[in-house]
Amino acid sequence: MKHLLSLLFLVYFNSLNFNLKACNCADPLPIEESYEKAEIIIRAKIISSEYVSNADAMDPAKARELRKKLQGDKIRLPQLDTKFIIELKVLVKSVYKGEDLIDTLSIYTTRTPASCGATSLKPGGDYLIYAYIETGAYEFISPGNRLEKAGTFWTFKCTRNKAFSEEEAMALRALKHELK
């Protein structure tokens, strides 16, 4: 009887139409399309990986302003201090797309694959990273507002990030020269 009730509950639960928004990626875009969409493409060694709060990854002035605006909001205000973001410190070895990049960058991603976090990027690894200036990670806190910290970038599970390969690097160099 206990198993029958459990089974009925599961059938009922699965029949509900939940609008859950977990990250769902198809295969990465072709290299040409990925090149076009990314703001920067680099070869980088990951120096460190640290969990930081949502507010730590935001422009400091915008984070202070948002904190004031959310006073009394018991759902969204605590999210500012939740360590939901991974900050990757990376040493830039090569630049395939992007200008005026410093040697060491902060690249952010969300903490879980379900939220599209690029959690496969690990310290010590040598990667090709496709990154963006903007993120949708803050939409649940402050929809429609750009809160990103200047001079930082964001990457995601669904981008073309991968362990460094000379084959892909050659294709990126060719695209860079072709599009000049």
143 Cβ contact partners less than 8 Å away, ≥ 6 residues apart: none
What are the tokens at 57? 């990854």
The architecture that CATH gives domain 25-178 is Beta Barrel (2.40)
pTM to 2 decimal places: 0.83
Report the chain's terminal Cα–Cα distance, integer Å. Answer: 70
Domain boundaries, the chain: 25-178
Asked if the model's pLDDT at residue 63 lies above 80, the reply is: yes
**Tens of pLDDT, residues 106-156:** 999 999 988 889 999 999 999 999 999 988 777 777 777 788 888 899 999
pLDDT classification of 21: cutoffs 50, 70, 90: low
**Tens of pLDDT, residues 76-93:** 899 999 999 999 999 999
HEC sequence for 88-137: EEEEEEEEEECCCCCCEEEEEEECCHHHCCCCCCCCCCEEEEEEECCCCC
